[in-house]
Structure 1
Amino acid sequence: MLYQIARPLLFALDPETAHELTLSTLRNLGGLIPSCGRVQAEPVEVMGLRFPNRVGLAAGLDKNGEVIDGLASFGFGFIEVGTVTPLAQPGNPKPRMFRIPSRKAIINRMGFNNHGVDNLVAHVKASKFKGVLGINIGKNLVTPIERAVDDYLICLDKVYAHASYVTINISSPNTKNLRQLQGESELDALLGTLKARQTALADQHGRYVPMTLKIAPDLDEEQIVTIADALRRHRIDGVIATNTMIGREGVEGQPHANEAGGLSGAPVREKSTLVIAELARRLASEVPIIGVGGITEAAHAAEKIAAGASLVQIYTGFIYGGPELVGDCIKATEQAARPR
């Protein structure tokens, strides 16, 4: 109810200004926000982790891990923060985020703006949150693509002890050449190196932290097969499908539709679900899937589970629908996951 009152005020502001205001409110009042009515759900074990429910917050909303405790009040089964890079960076020039309300969509070209991995780790350590926390890592803009693995290794080393799982983001369209890492040889080399470091860190810390790969929706069948084979070969713990899309299907002719950047929200739903279904067919339950993309109502979350996802994440739908969407999606995924 409160969000439905606040939303018109927030939507009257520039999207990034509204985002910053929301974070500031959660940062200052997070501990005072009442729990949004916990929805009872059966816990589920995925990647060796126990999730209280199947609905998580996708990376991007809290890039620096500043408002984890405030976000926890909304009932998410898990929270993913980031994307974070080794060094702080400002991201792309503003304006760089655009709403398309008629389509429940957002275009962004943020460019991994964040305060750096050390800053994020400090916030995570200060948080009181004891639930499942994912940390999403990427590369700095100034790092040549052929040295990208170095940035991922730096971040993995620094976040390992503080994460429930770590996500390797190679699918943002807003960092130049990043999606090249989804190519067969590039992906094979990257995952091989990161898997070796994960194994070494598990020995060092006496604790195994799962690692997931976040992929794009703009993939053809051959690319999906390549990725599925690489996930199995390198024993990657999970895959997050999908990030934002480059295409503009579903927003043609709308204001801001021609802005550069990744498109998220309702128009991504179908592509994301198709990628999930194809991955599920190729992986045959060997690697769990976290479904994200276009979940703007509860039925869409159930759709992702039916397509083969074990968990789901929301972000743009949360911006449009507010906290009520979390509880609705928990109920829907609980029902969709029941044996028939």
Structure 2
Amino acid sequence: MNSLVVLGTSAAWGYSVVSTFLPSVLPSGTANVYYEAAAVIVTLILLGRFLEARAKGRTSQAIKRLVGLQPKTARVIRTGGAIELPLEQVVVGDRIEIRPGDRVPVDGRVTEGESYVDESMISGEPAFTFAATKVGADTVLAQIIRMVEEAQGSKLPIQALVDKITSWFVPAVIGAAVLTFAVWFVLGPSPALTFALINAVAVLIIACPCAMGLATPTSIMVGTGRAAELGILFRKGEALQTLRSAQVVALDKTGTLTKGKPELTDLTVRPGFDRNEVLRLVASIETKSEHPIAEAIVAAAQRDGLVLSAVAAFQAEPGFGVAGTVAGQRILVGADR
């Protein structure tokens, strides 16, 4: 494609130079200039490249956001206590301390303590879940980033078709230009050489492709990047093209469709208790907790328009629940353990 652009624009510019400075060598009425045609073609090509670069830049932000999810350091338990180490120095088997609010730096398994870890990006469902089992390029996050990069760099079946057409299109256009020159040179009016050159140049200018080969790569970059922003990852670029004809989507047990966070859907109370009053008291207590389930209960109360009360003597027992006093009543909320 670039060869046609070079030939077409060079021919248009060269012909214009001749028309400007040596119009006498051209047949009468053919001394026209095509500076604007050469400029527009080059401008469109550069604009296409610029838009493609911008698309790549925007979609690469999705990968950057994924990279940003991984902390730069980890609190590794060594002799004498926990020390802050760069992630590159963490090895398989290290014991990692995760404090409330911390991001999990590497893959691992819980060896001590209890907490809540949002794994919805991985499994589709939030779950309670540390010796390091995988570090560096072997972690799930690193694999996800690698998959997105590979999908963006892969070729769709339709792109292979475009490449195949382009590989034949360029020689065909050059051949047509040569044939045009030969026909006009042999059968054209005098001066035959001048008319042959003019018409050969016309073929090259008209056939110069401005968008071929740009639309498909740009669509892949934008499509996979936008999908990554929405949490949808393509292992292969061809899946993006196949998706257009999909009519049925099957999900396995870990492919649960959720909102990525807990939500209170049902509340059953024992006879003699008012549902709204129970929800109001429980939600009042949960306003003091940072637990995701607590946030879901508070959100449900606010959605129902309930007015929450002030909480006194609040206590939180990790792994069990919370307690406090609301309007003179002692309220306990938690697991039945």
Q: TM-score, normalised by structure 1?
A: 0.22
Which structure's CA Rg is the greater one?
Answer: 2
Q: TM-score, normalised by structure 2?
A: 0.23
Q: Which has the higher strand share?
A: 1
